[in-house]
Amino acid sequence: MSQRALLYEGKAKKVYVGDRPDELWVEFKDDATAFNGQKRGQIADKGIVNSQVSARLFTVLEQAGVPTHYLGTVDERTLRVRRLRMIPLEVVVRNRVAGSLHQRTGLAEGTALKEPVVELYYKNDALGDPLLNDDHVRALELAPPAVVEALRSEARRINQVLSRFFADRGLILVDFKLEFGWDQDRLCLGDEISPDTCRLWDQATLEKLDKDRFRRDLGGVAEAYRQVLARVMQ
């Protein structure tokens, strides 16, 4: 990839110029971070797993009528994607209580929610990606109310598709993060969908098969990621 112009390098990915002005190449790294970068490490072949899992899930969503930025694969850790004008919001969908929802509400981890909870976070590393309500979004002029409603609606639709997909493969989709952007005037799903951005538990054992294994020093992180890949590719 050295012959391509590097546009951006983040904690988990490198973004390069594509073959066309409206295209980017996204290379997934093995680097792992948690707690807003306070914890760092590497997970063997994480970039390969996250690239291939994302490609598979983007394809599933496209087949279900959800527009995404996915165009194809370059190699085992690199995707071709549409260049989007990203909305500076992270949309988190929660089906069960875990992570910060447990900390903020006191509800027991693993509690099944009667209906999905959709949360918005300000995508801003300097501020620690804080949780926002709709009034905050308006005050910061991050997105108009109609767009916020569209984000929530699309996130719920994606949740329905992915929850069924994972359930068919013996996995519980506990929660997950989405990012969206504009392809001209069309709202598209961007970024990635992977064990880095989803909490996935085994249906039978409730074993964690996601980045929480790294966050909590549970061990077996690379093995858990590879297990998710194997199931997703079924």
Any idea where the domains of the chain sit in the sequence?
A: 6-82, 85-228
Question: Can you name the residues that pair with 15 across neighbouring β-strands?
Answer: 8, 26
Provide CB contacts within 8 A for 160, sequence distance 6+: none
pLDDT digit string (tens) for the chain, length 234 residues: 657 899 999 999 999 999 999 999 999 999 999 887 778 999 999 999 999 999 999 999 999 999 999 999 999 999 999 999 999 999 999 999 999 999 999 999 999 999 999 999 999 999 999 999 999 999 999 999 999 999 999 999 999 999 999 999 999 999 999 999 999 999 999 999 999 999 999 999 999 999 999 999 999 999 999 999 999 999
Place of tokens 């797993």: 49
CA–CA distance, 6 with 177 (Å, rounded to integer): 25
Q: What is the sign, positive or negative, of the torsion defined by CA atoms of 204, 210, 213, 215?
A: negative
Q: What backbone phi and psi angles, to 5 degrees, belong to 214?
A: -75, -45
C-alpha angle with apex 116: 192 to 137, nearest 5 degrees?
70
Judge whether 210 and 228 are in contact, CB under 8 Å: yes
Indicate the CATH number for domain 6-82: 3.30.200.20
Q: Which of 44, 33, 39, 30 is nearest to 221 (CA)?
A: 44
CA–CA distance, 1 with 164 (Å, rounded to integer): 36
Tell me which CATH homologous superfamily contains domain 85-228: ATP-grasp fold, B domain (3.30.470.20)
Residue 202's pLDDT is what?
Answer: 98
Judge whether 32 and 97 are in contact, CB under 8 Å: no
Residue 1's pLDDT is what?
Answer: 62
**What are the E-state strand segments in 142-205?**
171-183, 186-189, 198-202
CA–CA distance, 190 with 183 (Å, rounded to integer): 10
Q: Do domains 6-82 and 85-228 have the same CATH topology?
A: no
Place of tokens 């996250």: 50
Mapped onto helix, strand or coil, the DSSP state of residue 205 is: coil
Question: Model-level pTM?
Answer: 0.96
Edge-to-edge order in the sheet of strand 23-28? 6-9, 13-17, 23-28, 78-82, 70-75
Compute CA 86 distance to the chain's CA centroid, rounded to the nearest angstrom: 14
Amino acid code (one letter) for 40: R
Residue 102's pLDDT is what?
Answer: 97
Judge whether 70 and 79 are in contact, CB under 8 Å: yes
User: What are the CA-CA distances from residue 172 to residues 77, 155, 208 (Å)?
Assistant: 25, 17, 10
